[in-house]
Structure 1
Amino acid sequence: MRRKHKWLPLAAAALLLTVLTPTAGAAPAGPLEAGGSNYDFYNLSGGCDREPYGVIDSFNDGRDTITAQLHQMYDAGQRRLRIGIFHQHGPDSGTVMDSSSGDLSPVDRQQLVDLLAAVKAAGFEEIDVVFMPLGADDPHSWSSMNESAYQEDWGVISRLHPLIAAAGIPYRIDLLNEGMPMSNQPALRAYTQRLWADYTAAFGSADTVGFSMTVWIADRVTQMSAVYGSNPPSVFELHLYGDDWNGDEYQQFVDADQKMTSLGYHQPWIIGETYFDDGTAADNIHRAIADTGRTVQYLTQWPLTRAQKCADVDQAPPVPFDAYRSAGF
């Protein structure tokens, strides 16, 4: 999820990053599959307020609109969706759901089931379900392990897993949005190590991307062995947003590819987030795939334009996908 900050230390922003040169003679990447969008909000009040319109928490209110939008996205060529489960130790907001019990309410559980049924009925071929704990449940800001919050987060994941698996749609799970830690985030590293161990013990690793990664991606790659040990997922998820200090999407992709390659990680990628219907991002990522040979399975756009007319989301619903379709996504 694109945020105003990326959980980066101030010192990191001052670093002068070396632009890595793509490996000469890179092997051709595998074929791309049709991608799509992060679909979390079906409307925006005043152009920016997304909170009353979560596609899970407000599904009953927006059922007809959501169903119509799913068909519109499918008709626009989208075949894969990334769907966020926003939850907190607190009341429902319209998007963020109360998980104080270590589970969603019966109403919210049924709304999730109904949304996934609508996604399947619309014809989508695959979903990426991402857990997005907020507030005290979000480990990105922890200074040490919060045991009660960890148990709440794990309860949500473990209790919703059967609903996701039973939906009848090929799926992968992102265990914590942009959760792969940086080298200076020991509490987040401890959280992800423990969650990876608990999840794989209960469900294995075949249906998960582990923890998605945002910039500074190359630094986060150095923590993958600590988090995954000898049992990494079979596909990784990256989020690419061109910016002033970390380079454009091409540089971010190449830096991440070279760091993974140097550490022996050759798994394919999913580009889970990037700017909405953006020709520059599409071109940068397409060139990086060609130059590195890294296989990318598919791409899902985040509903925020490069102009960033709002803080985090300025498009609802995310129907247009033309820039990425034109680039082969």
Structure 2
Amino acid sequence: MGLRFKIVNIVIKKRVRSISLPCRSHPLIFQLKDQIANLHSWSLNSDSRTAAWICEGLSHLKTVHNHLDDILNLPQTRESLRHNPHWIDKLLEHFLRFVDVYGIFQTLILSLKEEHSAAQVAMRRKDEEKIALYVKSRKRLARQMAKLVSSLSTVQKKTKIAEQGQAGVTADLAAVIEEVIGVTMTVSLALFNGISESFGTKNTWRWTRLDRVTKKVKKSAEDQEKGIQEFREIGSENLRELKKKGKEETKIAMKKMRDLEDWISDIENGSQRVFRSLISARVSLLNALSQQQEHKN
């Protein structure tokens, strides 16, 4: 009877200890890793750079950050992070940069929607002057997208968080957050670079940087057409000299413009969801930092 009691007691202690470990074997960690794996699989299909592919990546990324937010709100995670305020500060810096970049992107994509809608009216009226303004606005947008890519480069240079060996933070937790930052970079570069390259700017990072982030370097990708397929199909040459185009040619161009308008809306909605999930995850990190400061006081 005494031996049986000791065995039961040991089992109970092990269960309590496993629960108290900061996320080491929590099911949410495994769920998050599965979602990250989905994004890695998604990135391997970068040969097909379509708007649907971009939207799929944004959807996966939003799910990844939702799972991360759930993990950050676990009591054992907060307890783990509470002892590492400097590490939280570094994470907050990364997430603030992502939030800023996606906030700017929301403004840019909304502007593109409005200008694209106005351009369709101009096409129906064959108003080449307004179409020329639309072409210029797309080139301006391309330069702004390139700036977003450049802004993200500062995050990529500082993502080696898991290697710092933070005391009190499990290797699983540190590594999975590192991976979240990595896949966020992957999707973001695909989105911003894709639009930038579609609209013709030359001073953008090559797609090989995206391949490097995902550890999949393919030299043949450099020789393929850049950009997102649906964005690239409506080139400047399709929009100029409308009065010289035949009825059928104009009809095809108009349909492509309508289809692109739908994809712009889908990308806007997908990026907005990512933006909100980034804010939510950052708030959870701030809460963990506030909890640390309360304990300190």
The one of the two structures with greater contact order (alpha-carbon pairs below 8 A, sep at least 6) is 2
Larger Rg: 2
Alignment TM-score, normalising by the size of structure 2: 0.25
Q: Which has the higher helix share?
A: 2
Given the two structures, how large is their TM-score scaled by the length of structure 1? 0.24
